[in-house]
Structure 1
Amino acid sequence: MTHSGRSAKGERSTQLAQLGAGAVEFRLERRGPVTVVLFHGGHMRAGLSLGEEVYAEADCSVLVPSRPGYGRTPVSTGRSAVGFADVTASLREHLGITDVAAVVGVSGGGPTAVAMAARHPALGRRLILQSAVGPLPWPDRRTHTAAQVVFAPRTEPVSWALVRTLLRRMPDAGLRMLLRDLTLLTAPSTVAALRPGDRAKLIALLSRMRSGHGFLNDLRELKATEELTRLMAGVAQPSLVIASRHDGAVPFAHAQALAAGLRRAELVESLADSHFIWFGRDWTTISERIHAFLLADPAS
């Protein structure tokens, strides 16, 4: 059973499916006959969009589920990367989607995308990983400790309310604070390098983020394990791994480990100043590479 949902201001409309494993929130934007399944990273949910224009330009439909603990997906619905990959396979069947051009994993959604590619190879002809968590320790101890306070269920709403207030009243200061841990460069230089349009998009995105129970679940579940390494070895599809050396949230070493562990992987280095590769000065070039990858023969 599927229920429609009302979207908050500035968000895209989502729906709620009741599956055997539990409820899962999702957004399905139908275009062409083939679909891209996209797993967002931390603090993101199905109603938010980031870097999806390239799939629209390739005439692909897009299916975006909210991972466990984000949006209206309970943390109990497929709590682990493997568990939620299986849930998404069921969702795909529930929606009657038969042709998946690619599975995309962004940041903390990377392990789920890898799991889906490995466990359900018929459901995705390609794998795309963007600033994705790989088979290395993540996050660092300082981030893990701070998150237990800032994103705990009782404090998470207050934390994001303060973020929204700061971004509204002092946007540059807010961006510098939020990008500080997302770049290996200085936050002021990273903010100063943003183009006006990208700056506005980033402020709008950050102002709508929430963590719910999802981010703490990510910290519990997305640990470096032999399971992710084993799953990577089982991915036969062509893979595109995209990351920046300036990423302060997910070190570039994760991308290198993913590219080394996936059998048919190509590593694309972004010139972005931070974790947000979509706002890098070479994103147009990278988008063209993704577009070509989507249209290429996966058997080649």
Structure 2
Amino acid sequence: MTITERETTTAHLAQGLVEYRLEGEGPETVVIFHGGHMRAGLALGEEVFTASDHQVLALSRPGYGRTPLTTATTPAAFADLTAHLCHELGIERVAAVVGVSAGGRTALTMAARHPHLVERVILQSAVAFVPWPDRRTRLAGRLVFNARAEVVTWAAVRLLMRTAPQVGLRLLLRDLSTRPTGQVMAGLSEHDRAELIALFTLMRSGEGFVNDMLPVPDCAGQVTQPVLVIASRTDRSVPFTHAESLTATVPRAEPAESRADGHMIWFAPDYPAIAGRIKNFLGAG
């Protein structure tokens, strides 16, 4: 993978403005709801879908990128907007909605609200409907990632990544894994470190992350489609209990445990095997 800022476009729908990116030539479409601090222009882990002959529709969730928070303050409202956008783009069926981290709730909500559009769900280190985040993270998140402070926060991150990238990487990885940071760093190749540095340099929070921390109505039991739940037991950002909750409450959930050292499953040695699970899941009848 190569982490770069990709070209996006916007659509003015009845519900409001939404930023999105549509890439690929495949006959089937995968809709991606990225996680916190991400937006439509940042592609993470999408190669598994384009390599499987799927086109990718990635959206900036409310408060991120060029999608204002006023467009849709809840996952339900944004799921409905996404279904509307699919209609406008001529997409009649979605092979899978992919929920990454904080985007997991939106993916599940879209599957529950639009079962005739969505065929299956893929969750990657996804937040479930149990309380999230913990109190310390919630307080810190509201302090450093609110709409005013996040500009300064990410400017500081960019400066650190330019002047002392390994130090910056250690600081950010500390909150993503339950394992010692030195062990996590040792497990990353030079290429992976460079990719993570590039990713963290491009992240922004806007008004989105604080909104992500609000409670969301639990619709897990209403999701009738097959759901692949990918998670690591060493994820500090989204504890493994979230995956356990989903596999226990989603009727057709299928667990896929990653051996990643934390939240970033795409940088683990076993990711090729996880990618294989994803491809098989997409191809299942």
1:268 maps to 2:262: no
- Give the partner amino acid of 1:145: L
CA deviations over 1:260-300 (Å, ceiling 9, x no partner) = 11111111110000100111110000001100110110xxx
In structure 2, C-alpha distance between the alignment counterparts of 1:278 and 1:15, rounded to whole Å? 26
Aligned to 1:289: 277
Greater shift, 80-89 or 149-158, is seen at: 149-158
- Give the partner amino acid of 1:77: T
Offset at residue 99 of structure 1 (A): 2.5
Aligned to 2:178: 184
Q: CA RMSD in A?
A: 1.1
Aligned to 1:249: 237
What is the aligned-residue identity percentage? 56
Aligned to 1:13: 7
- Give the partner amino acid of 1:177: L
CA deviations over 1:206-262 (Å, ceiling 9, x no partner) = 110000000011112xx2x5x31xx21111111100000000000000001011111
In structure 2, C-alpha distance between the alignment counterparts of 1:236 and 1:157, rounded to whole Å? 40
CA deviations over 1:129-165 (Å, ceiling 9, x no partner) = 1100012110011111111111122211111011011
In structure 2, C-alpha distance between the alignment counterparts of 1:157 and 1:277, rounded to whole Å? 27
User: What is the TM-score with the length of structure 2 in the denominator?
Assistant: 0.97
Offset at residue 21 of structure 1 (A): 0.5
Deviating above 2 A after TM superposition, structure 1's stretches of 4 or more consecutive aligned residues are none
Unaligned runs of 5+ in 2: none
The correspondence for 2:38, drawn from 38, 44, 65, is 44
Q: Secondary structure at the match of 2:213?
A: helix
User: What is the TM-score with the length of structure 1 in the denominator?
Assistant: 0.92
CA contact (8 A) 2:24 2:50 kept: no
Aligned to 1:200: 194
Q: How many pairs does the alignment contain?
A: 283
In structure 1, C-alpha distance between the alignment counterparts of 2:60 and 2:235, rounded to whole Å? 24
CA contact (8 A) 2:4 2:43 kept: no
The correspondence for 1:76, drawn from 67, 70, 73, is 70
In structure 2, C-alpha distance between the alignment counterparts of 1:192 and 1:203, rounded to whole Å? 15
Aligned to 2:208: 214
- Structure-to-structure mapping, 1:81-96, within 5 angstroms: 81-96=75-90
Aligned to 2:140: 146
In structure 1, C-alpha distance between the alignment counterparts of 2:182 and 2:158, rounded to whole Å? 19
In structure 2, C-alpha distance between the alignment counterparts of 1:162 and 1:97, rounded to whole Å? 41
Aligned to 2:150: 156
CA deviations over 1:103-127 (Å, ceiling 9, x no partner) = 1100000000000001101211111
In structure 1, C-alpha distance between the alignment counterparts of 2:62 and 2:269, rounded to whole Å? 32
Unaligned runs of 5+ in 1: 1-8
CA contact (8 A) 2:25 2:55 kept: yes
Offset at residue 94 of structure 1 (A): 1.1
